[in-house]
Amino acid sequence: MAGRLDATQCDAALKFLDGLAQPQVIDLAQLDYIASAGLRVFLLTQKRVKGLGAGLRLINVKPPIHDIFRYAGFDRILDIARPAG
């Protein structure tokens, strides 16, 4: 994912992720902004893959994006890794 994940991109992002059988690792190195609508995309995707016996791992999450996930409590729902270094 790259750029912004806000209400204008969420439908396309959710459609893309729903088209993947079992997305398990999503690289967010290029994600610069996430809105609450974007958080919903990850919540719905996590719920779907958990039902399939898997789970999401978000990698290369920039500190400001990581903070948003943490403030929203998503760090207790998703496996979130900051970039190394």
Q: What confidence tens digit (pLDDT) does each residue in 75-84 have? A: 999 999 877 6
The CA–CA distances, whole Å, from 64 to 5, 8, 51, 52, 71 equal 14, 20, 29, 30, 11
- CATH code of the domain occupying 2-80: 3.30.750.24
Query: Do the Cβ atoms of 42 and 14 come closer than 8 Å?
Result: no
pLDDT digits (tens, 9 = 90+) for 5-63: 999 999 999 999 998 877 789 999 999 999 999 999 999 999 999 988 888 999 999 99
Please report, for the chain, the start and end positions of each structural domain, with discontinuous segments joined by +. Answer: 2-80
* Model-wide pTM > 0.85: yes
5: nearest Cα among 47, 48, 36: 36
- 74, 42 Cβ separation under 8 angstroms: yes
